[in-house]
Amino acid sequence: MIRDWEDMTRSLPLPVLTSYSDHCSLIMFDSVRIRLTLWYAGVLALSLIAFAVLVYYAAAGIFYARQDELLRSTAETVASAYVQELEEEDSVAKANDVVLAQLVFPNRYVEVADVQGRVVAWSSNLAGHVLTVPTQTLSEARQRGSSFVVLNNLRVAVVPLSPDRNKQLGFAIVAEPLSVVAEGLRRLRRNFFAGGPLIVLFASLGGYFLARKSLAPIALMNQQTQRITAENLSAQLDVANPRDEVGRLAITINALLARIDAAFQEQKRFIADASHELRTPIAVLRGETEVALEQERATAEYKESLELIKDEAERLSRIVENLFLLARQPIDAPSLVKEPVYVNEVVADCARAAQVLATQKGLRLKVQSSLPEVSMNGDDEMLKRMLLNLLDNAVKYTPAGGEISVALSSQNGNAIITVSDTGIGIPSEDQPRIFDRFYRVDKARSRALGGAGLGLSIARWIVEGHGGSLSVSSSVGRGSTFTVDLPLNG
């Protein structure tokens, strides 16, 4: 029973710990600071490894070369002392004894060999273990002045006793264990293994600190952005240094917020204006219906009420239709069906349609006597709607007896359509806003004429959808001129 309980308690935490560790790993690698630090540490570690390998092999070459130089120098010292003693004592045996007794080199082994390479004397630390140098090495020493060979894990240097090649006395042989150099290389490796991780560790901590300090403005931007809601879209992010990358990012985000705020405010105005415009005809319909149903009335009174209801229903229908059209903004390529269109035919058709409205109000509609043939790629129905809106606007705001004129020309690859009237004109302070949705210079007069302030906005939207522009020139009391500029290669 106890064993079962121990087994159960040992097995329970494992899934929890594994899940928690996985979760921590995911969080850790989601941090830009951690990823930058890891990349920095990885690159630094690889660089240190490459540097350590290069230094190690370079040091190994230097150590071995230095060992050879020291061995050669020691062998030359032995040879020089041997020749000097031989000249003074005139005895080979005494020279051997004196040289080997006086010259003591720690961790080095010294031999003297005759011309045939037979060992004739050696240092005490070589007792019983003389070195037999190959004949080829002796020949190389005789020809080059020195030679080296490895025997029994010893680095051996061979130098002729006499520098005079014609005077052959034998050879001085000095050896040193290779472990001397190996020990130096072992210490170097140990220093690398101990120092490398410490360098990477301290550099990683420094890199993490620098990454955290560098990314602190982004963290601040994140906090400020999270506090921005629909109620404070006008808020701006702090820009510490507009010249660096973070500062330019903050400026870009601020510009984006400004555009979103402008679009949001425009949407709010659109909804408010649309609600206001729809409220009036609906209120009239409801009120007139309630009045008509309160009591029995004469047929003429019912007819009058129905005509009023019909007019308001038509006005409501136009507003809803225009709202649906404006809901397609911003215009995109699939919104327009572009095909070859003769602009002169569009102008002629719209002028004939507007002639009826102008005649009913006692206005003269003049169309350019000879319209030039101008073709372009465009949406025929939309272009007609745009021009009819401009003509309808001119008819509404031109008093009886006035004149409206329509002209068409082609200039610099563009089709130019002008609609001029002798109406009431537009004040200069209102001209920049007349293309805004639901904007009306004289709200009471516009509502009386059945306008909702959408016609010019739709006209400009259609023109811009064709890559053109719509402008106005007007003077109060003298009339207005609307100019449509459409590119023929659009």
3-state secondary structure the chain: CHHHHHHHHHHCHHHHHHHHHHHHHHHHHHCHHHHHHHHHHHHHHHHHHHHHHHHHHHHHHHHHHHHHHHHHHHHHHHHHHHHHHHHHHCCHHHHHHHHHHHCCCCCCEEEEECCCCCEEEECHHHCCCCCCCCHHHHHHHHHHCCEEEEECCEEEEEEECCCCCCCCCCEEEEEEECHHHHHHHHHHHHHHHHHHHHHHHHHHHHHHHHHHHHHHHHHHHHHHHHCCCHHHCCCCCCCCCCCCHHHHHHHHHHHHHHHHHHHHHHHHHHHHHHHHHHHHHHHHHHHHHHHHHHCCCCHHHHHHHHHHHHHHHHHHHHHHHHHHHHCCCCCCHHHCCCEEEEHHHHHHHHHHHHHHHHHHCCCEEEECCCCCCCEEEECHHHHHHHHHHHHHHHHHCCCCCCEEEEEEEEECCEEEEEEEECCCCCCCCCHHHCCCCCCCCCHHHHHHCCCCCCHHHHHHHHHHHCCCEEEEEEECCCEEEEEEEEECCC
What is the pLDDT at residue 1? 39
Match 């001397």 to its residue by tokens: 180
What is the pLDDT at residue 8? 40
Helix-helix angle 179-226:245-294, to 10 degrees:
30
The answer to whether the predicted template modeling score (pTM) of the entire model surpasses 0.85 is no
What is the pLDDT at residue 482? 92
- 245-326 adopts what CATH topology? Helix Hairpins (1.10.287)
What is the pLDDT at residue 333? 41
Q: Which CATH class is domain 335-487?
A: alpha beta
pLDDT tens string for the chain (490 positions)?
334 434 444 443 444 444 444 444 444 556 777 888 888 888 888 988 999 899 999 999 999 999 899 999 988 888 887 777 777 766 666 666 666 666 667 778 888 888 888 877 777 777 667 788 888 888 888 888 889 999 888 899 999 988 777 777 888 889 999 888 889 889 988 988 888 888 888 888 888 888 777 777 777 877 878 888 777 777 777 787 778 777 788 888 888 888 888 778 777 776 766 675 666 567 767 777 877 777 777 778 778 778 777 877 776 776 677 666 666 555 444 467 788 999 999 999 888 888 888 888 899 999 988 888 888 988 888 898 889 889 988 888 888 889 999 999 988 889 999 999 998 888 887 777 787 766 665 544 444 444 556 778 888 888 888 889 999 988 888 889 999 999 987 6
Task: Check if CATH label 3.50.50.60 holds for domain 77-180.
Answer: no
What is the pLDDT at residue 288? 74
What is the pLDDT at residue 483? 93
Closest CA to 374 of 350, 344, 406: 344
